């Protein structure tokens, strides 16, 4: 059924949205003749932690996700439109997809054959895609946010859903090239019944009143997003806008019934931003805010917060605590806008760049305010001395800082272990040089992905000394190096009784951050 629309957005916003959705050509490439030869694209990008993630033979330049939520069936009817650029002559390509009921696939407007195998959607167009061809791929499907899967990004709530795609579950929400190296432009259209609101990463550019009391909300991001950072949520929400530092508009999306109770936590964000911008530079995106989704169910997700781009996901009850209980962790998640979102990890082995930096600045913020941490310590030096003592144990039980596997990816080694590396580097180069390394790394790799080697290269360049040997020992060594300027610090010897066996279930990532 078609619905008549009532448009309420400014004309300029509508023109911008239309341009974003139609800019890429849908032909198979207008500068090359079509050819019948070609080979299938590889069904991996070779990630060392998640080797099955991602697909080669193309890159995605843009996604448009059109979601329609039915409050009665609690299902999502969706169309994902991807703009691909072929990097070889492609006879077949694949997308990551799991748990989606796919009805049809069109490539360049033509029906394509497809099959779902494991977590891949294999698509065979009716003719080969020439190298450098730009083409639109449309996938029609239905998703059930409550469906039991081996892993899922869906967070069902009493009045809708939110999503938590990190690290490897965005493709349970939409078919995609699910790897942080393939960042792309995103736009979203979310249609909901009366009484509910649809919200997504980016900014609202259009609101349409539809027949039957439904409303469609269209969002667009000004900056590329990695698939694992996408946020789409539906619920009985109130959107609260406020002014941040330097003219930044802030947007919080909160359950209507709890909006007043959550206000003290929401009001902390401007101060957090001001503190962090003094250290890392201007906020890298168009807006920021919190999304305490409408669920405190302990099974909804097993972490405290998640840094989906422009909206950090929380459970409401966490944010109802006093400032000294939440401020350090709110800083941790905010830091991810720089480390993790603006600069994404090139592989999941580079996760320490995200989590080490988030804990580093989160702890600095805590100690500046005199808030004791979970160990009762009140300074970065004291916490690092305690962490240093555990260094060899963590290297044996969780691997080196920059060499995780899927089971130990979110262990403390990536968090506090990463902080220890950054602390050691700061001890070697001094605080001023360290701060210049941080800003240079962020500026150089903004809106892209970076490797551990990229960080080492910037550290060497800015410090004027080759830091590769020093940092590689800290990041990849099986033994904890000596801490510069602290010859009295010692590492606790490892005995078999200290190394606890790990029985973690796949996809289970409890909090390891020290900022709680």
Give catalytic residues, as residue numbers.
333, 415
Q: Under a CB-based contact definition with an 8 Å cutoff, are residues 173 and 201 in contact?
A: no
Establish whether 151 is an annotated binding residue: no
DSSP letter for 504, please. Answer: P
Confirm whether residue 355 is marked as ligand binding. yes
Instruction: Mark 52-64 as b/e (b = at least 16 C-beta within 10 Å).
Output: ebbbbbbbbbbbb
Pairing label, strands 134-143, 101-107: antiparallel
In b/e form, how buried is each residue of 226-238, taking b as 16+ CB within 10 angstroms? bbbbbbbbbbebe
CA dist., res. 456 & res. 429, Å (int): 13
Q: For helices 412-429 and 391-398, what crossing angle results, to 10°?
A: 140
Of the candidates 94, 169, 178, the one whose C-alpha atom is nearest the C-alpha of residue 506 is 169
Is 115 annotated to bind a ligand? Reply is no
Rounded to whole angstroms, the Cα distance separating 335 from 340 reads 8
Q: By C-alpha distance, which of 468, 435, 272, 293 is closest to 357?
A: 435
Helix/strand/coil (H/E/C) assignment for every residue in 292-338: ECCCCCCCCCCCCEECCCCCEEECHHHHCCCHHHHHHHHHHHHHCCC
Q: Which residues are annotated as a binding site?
A: 332, 336, 355
Q: Which residues are annotated as a binding site for Zn(2+)?
A: 332, 336, 355
């Amino acid at each position: 059924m078609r619905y008549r629309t009532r448009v309420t957005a400014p004309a300029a916003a509508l023109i911008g949205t239309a341009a974003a959705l139609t800019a890429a050509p849908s032909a198979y490439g207008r500068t090359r003749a079509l050819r019948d030869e070609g080979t299938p694209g590889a069904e991996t990008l070779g990630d060392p932690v998640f080797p099955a993630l991602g697909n080669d033979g193309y890159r995605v330049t843009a996604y448009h996700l059109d979601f329609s939520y039915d409050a009665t069936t609690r299902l999502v009817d969706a169309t994902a439109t991807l703009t691909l650029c072929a990097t070889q002559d492609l006879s077949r390509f694949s997308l990551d997809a799991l748990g989606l009921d796919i009805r049809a696939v069109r490539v360049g407007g033509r029906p394509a054959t497809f099959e779902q195998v494991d977590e891949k959607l294999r698509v065979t167009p009716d003719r080969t895609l020439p190298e450098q061809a730009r083409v639109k791929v449309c996938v029609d499907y239905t998703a059930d946010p409550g469906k039991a899967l081996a892993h899922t990004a869906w967070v069902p709530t009493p009045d809708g859903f939110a999503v938590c795609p990190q690290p490897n579950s965005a493709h349970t929400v939409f078919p995609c090239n699910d790897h942080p190296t393939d960042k792309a432009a995103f736009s979203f259209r979310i249609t909901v019944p009366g009484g509910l609101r649809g919200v997504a990463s980016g900014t609202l550019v259009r609101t349409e009143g539809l027949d039957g009391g439904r409303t469609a909300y269209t969002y667009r991001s000004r900056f590329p997003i990695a698939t694992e950072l996408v946020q789409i949520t539906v619920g009985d929400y109130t959107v609260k806008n406020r002014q941040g530092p330097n003219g930044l508009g802030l947007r919080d999306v909160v359950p209507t019934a709890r909006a007043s109770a959550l206000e003290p936590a929401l009001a902390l964000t401007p101060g957090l931003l001001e503190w962090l911008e003094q250290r890392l530079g201007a906020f890298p995106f168009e807006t920021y805010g919190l999304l305490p989704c409408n669920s405190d169910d302990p099974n909804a997700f097993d972490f405290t917060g998640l840094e989906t781009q422009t909206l950090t996901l929380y459970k409401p009850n966490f944010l109802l605590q006093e400032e000294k209980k939440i401020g350090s962790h709110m800083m941790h998640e905010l830091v991810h806008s720089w480390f993790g979102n603006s600069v994404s990890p090139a592989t999941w082995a580079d996760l320490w760049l995200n989590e080490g930096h988030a804990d580093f600045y989160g702890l600095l913020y805590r100690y500046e305010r005199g808030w004791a941490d979970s160990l009762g310590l009140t300074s970065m030096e004291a916490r690092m001395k305690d962490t240093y003592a555990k260094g060899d144990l963590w290297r044996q039980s969780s691997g080196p800082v920059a060499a995780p596997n899927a089971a130990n990816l979110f262990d403390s080694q990536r968090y506090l272990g990463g902080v220890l590396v950054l602390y050691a580097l700061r001890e070697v180069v001094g605080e001023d040089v360290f701060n210049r390394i941080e800003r240079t790394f962020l500026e150089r790799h903004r809106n892209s992905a970076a490797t551990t080697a990229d960080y080492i290269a910037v550290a060497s360049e800015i410090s004027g000394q080759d830091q590769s040997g020093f940092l590689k020992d800290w990041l990849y060594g099986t033994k904890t190096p000596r801490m510069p300027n602290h010859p009295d610090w010692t590492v606790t010897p490892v005995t078999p009784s200290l190394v606890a066996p790990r029985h973690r279930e796949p996809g289970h990532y409890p909090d390891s951050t020290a900022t709680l």
